[in-house]
Amino acid sequence: MAATAEKKKTASSKMKTKKKRTAPKKILVIVESPAKAKTIEKYLGRRYMVRASMGHLRDLPKSQFGIDVEHDFAPKYINIRGKGDLIKALKKDAKHASKIYLASDPDREGEAIAWHLAYILGLDPSDDCRIVFNEITKPAIQEAVKHPRKINLDQVDAQQARRMLDRIVGYKLSPLLWRKIRKGLSAGRVQSVTVKLICDREKEIQAFQSEEYWTVGMKLRKEKSAMFDAELTQIDGEKLSLRNKEETEKVVADLKEQALTVKAVKRSERKRRAPAPFTTSSLQQDAARKLGFVSRRTMRIAQQLYEGIELGHHGATGLITYMRTDSTRISELAQGEARTFLESSLGAAYVPEKPNVYAAGKKAQDAHEAIRPTNIELTPASLEKYLDKDQMKLYTLIWQRFAASQMTPAIYDTMSVTIQAGTRYTIRTNGSKLKFPGFTAVYAGADSKKKEKDIVLPDMEAGDSLHLAKTLPEQHFTEPPPRYNDASLVKTLEEKEIGRPSTYAPIIDTIQARGYVQRIDKHFQPTELGFVVIDMLEKYFKDIVNVKFTANLENELDEIAEGKVEKNDLLREFYGPFEQTVEKADEAIGKVEMPVEVSNVRCEKCGRMMVVKQGRYGKFLACPGFPECRNTKPLLVDTGVKCPKCGGAIVERKTRRGRKFYGCENYPDCDYTTWDAPQKETCKVCGSFLLLHRFKNGRTMLYCSNDACPSRIDHPINQELERIRARMEAKKKRDAEKAAEEAQKKEEKEQKA
C-alpha cells in the first residue's frame, strides 16, 4: 500500500512539472496589411506569428505644425488617433516573442514604418530586425527571414524629409489661401505643380487657333491587281501644303491628267522588340489606356494581387511582385522560369538566345524588380475562377507584358514605294506583312484589342505604270493639344520627374478632392478655383509651382536616401527662403474675389438668385445671402429631354461615388432613372427619345428608350444589358458563396478553440 501511494505521489509530481512547462516563444513578424499577414503566416508555419500594423502608427500631429525649426527641424511624432488598441496588442505580442522582424513594404515609406515600429516596440534600429521581400511567395519569404538586416536610416531620413517638406508647404501656405481666397483650401508641394500642368494645358487649348488643311489620298491599281491606298506627299519637291478646297481641287484635277510611274521600291525586314516589363508608371498608363482604370483603381487591384488571392486548396497566394517600383530588372531565376515555360508552350523560336535586358531609368531603384507574375505557370486562364473581373483584367495585362518581355521580336516584311505623277507630284505608299509573330503571339502592344493588320501591296518594280482609280481629298483642321487623362498625366509626371511612382495615384486623388481639378469624360480640366490658386502661386511662389525646382527637390531626396545629402541641410536650405516668401506674400496679396456665376434658379427661402459654387464633390447652387440664408441645392444639368413617365425634365445627377446617371427632376415623386445619356434625337419607329450607351472600350451605341419599341427586339443593346445582368447575378452568387465559406471557416475555428 505504501509503495502504491508513493507511485501516485511521484506521478502527481510529474504531472505538476509538466503543467509548469510553458509553450516556446514564437517569432513575431509585423507586416502592413491583414491580407498579407494571412498569406505570410501560411508560409512561415507555427513557429511564427504574423501581425499587421495597418500602415503607419505614428505621424506628425494634424492640429499643429509639429516641426521644431529652432532645434534642427526635430519632428514631433505622436501615435495616430484610433491606433491605440492596435499598438497595445502589438506590444503585448512583442513582449511574448522570442524575436521580432519588421516586414513593412520594401520602399522608403515601408522603411519609415519599420523605424516607427522599432521606436514603439523598443527595438534598436541597428539590430538585424528588418526583413524585405519583393514577392509574397514561400521561397521569397523564407529567404528573407534567413537574412534580416538593420533598418536603413538613410531611407528613413529621405522619407522624413519628404513628409516634413510637405508639412512645411501645407501648414505655411494653406492658412494664406484661407485668408486671401476662402476657408478650407490647401496647397501641396507636388500637387500644386500637377495642377499647374493641367492649367497650362487648358490655357494652350483656349489660346489655340485652328487652321484648315487638306490631304489627298487615292486608290491606285497596277494592271489588274487589287486597289491599294497611297497618299500625295510632295508638290515640286516641297512638302504638301494645301490650305483650302480651291487649291485642293486644282491639284486633284491636275493629278488626274498625269501618268503614274513607280520611281523606287524599297524592300526590307523590320524587327519590333517587345516592351519592357511593367513599372508602376507604365502599369498605370497601360491600365488607363486599355482597361479604362484610373490610377487609384489600378494600384488598389495590384495591391490585392500582391498581398494574396485565395486559390482553392492552395490557400492565399501572392500573384505578382511588389507593385511600387521604377525598375525594369528581372531576376535570373524568373527569367529562367519564363524561358522554360515559353519554350515548352510556344516553341524554341519564341525564346531569344540570351535573355532580354532592358535599360533602367537613371532614378530606378534596382533593388526592386519590375512588376511580374510570381509564377509564370499561373496563366490568366488557370486563375479565371479565382479572380474577380477587375483582378482578372489587370493580372492578364501584367502576365502578358512580362511573358512578351522575355520573347523574340516580331518580324515584318516591309515595302516602301515612291511614285512619280508627271514631273510635279510625289506619291508614297507603304506595305507591311507579318513574317514571324514573336512576342505579339501573347501581347499586342499599344492596343491589346487590335492586332496589327497586314497591308499587302502588289509586286512592283521601278518603271512600272500605275492607274489612278480614285482620288480621296479630305478636309482637316489642326487640333489643340489634348487634355491630360490618367495615362498621359502619369507619363508627364514621370518624364518631368515630379513625385515618385508610388505618389502618382494619391496626387491625382488629392487635386480632385480639393476642387482644383475635375475629371470630365476621362480627361482632367481645371476648375475656376484651380486657375485662381495657381495664378496666385505663380505670382508669389514661383518655386512651388516650378517643374524644375520640384524635380530637383526629388533628386535631393534621392541623394538623402543614398547617404549623399543630410536631411537637415535640405530642410534648412528650403525653409529659410520659403518662410520669407510667405511673409512678403501675406503683406502684398489682397483679398482675392472669386468670380461668381449667377444661375436662373431663385432661392425659395429669401428670393435671391442662387449662384454656382464649387465644392469637394463638384458644383452646387448656394444662396448668395450666406450666412443669413444657408440654402443650397444640387446643380442639375437639363438634358433637354422630357421624362416618359411624368413629362418633367430629365436632368444629370451623380451617385455618392461620383458616377453620372440621369433621372427625372421630380424625384422622389417620379422614379425614372437611366445610366445611359438621353438624346434629343428620336426613334424613327416609335418617336421616343434615344439613349446613348457607352461601352468601357470607348464604343458607343444608340438605342430607343422605349422597352416595347419593335426596334429593340433584335437590337444588340438587349444582349449587352442581358450580359450586364448575368454578370451582376454571377457576382452576387460568388459573394454569397465566399461569405458562406468564410462563415464556415470561422465556425470551424471557434469549434477548434
b/e 163-198 (16+ beta carbons within 10 angstroms → b) = bbbebbbbbbbebbbeebbeeebbbbbbbbbbbbbb
- DSSP per-residue string spanning 672-733: -EESSEEEEEE-TTT-PEEEEEE-TTS-EEEEES-TT-GGGTT-HHHHHHHHHHHHHHHHHH
C-alpha cell at 580: 520669407
- DSSP per-residue string spanning 143-162: HHHHS-B---HHHHHHHHHH
How many Å apart are CA 129 and CA 97, to the nearest integer? 13
Decide: helix, strand or coil at residue 415: strand
Contact (CB, 8 A) for 318 and 374: yes
How many Å apart are CA 559 and CA 570, to the nearest integer? 10
Strand 48-52's sheet: what is its strand order? 48-52, 26-31, 97-102
**What is the number of other CB atoms lying within 10 angstroms of the CB of residue 403?**
25
SS3 breakdown of the chain: % helix, strand, coil, rounded to 5?
Answer: 40, 25, 35
Q: Hey, which residues does 701 pair with through a beta bridge?
A: 693
How many Å apart are CA 321 and CA 398, to the nearest integer? 10
**What is the number of other CB atoms lying within 10 angstroms of the CB of residue 60?**
18
Of 495, 496, 493, residue with least CA distance to 511: 493
- The question of whether 540 is a catalytic residue gets the answer no
Contact (CB, 8 A) for 413 and 306: no
Q: Hey, which residues does 661 pair with through a beta bridge?
A: 653
- DSSP per-residue string spanning 620-650: EEE-TTTTT---EEE-PEEEEEE-TTT-PEE
Query: Degrees (nearest 5) of the Cα angle 27, 28, 30?
Result: 150
Please give the C-alpha separations between residue 365 and each of 155, 254, 372, 554, 682, in angstroms, as whole numbers: 12, 61, 16, 14, 58
C-alpha cell at 681: 434625337
How many Å apart are CA 419 and CA 263, to the nearest integer? 5
From 43, 306, 322, 540, active-site residue = 322
Query: Up-side HSE of residue 642: CA atoms within 13 Å toward CB?
Result: 8
How many Å apart are CA 339 and CA 352, to the nearest integer? 9
Contact (CB, 8 A) for 610 and 621: yes
C-alpha cell at 172: 505655411
Decide: helix, strand or coil at residue 218: strand
Decide: helix, strand or coil at residue 382: helix
Strand 677-682's sheet: what is its strand order? 677-682, 689-694, 700-704
How many Å apart are CA 685 and CA 179, to the nearest integer? 60
Please identify every residue annotated as catalytic. 322
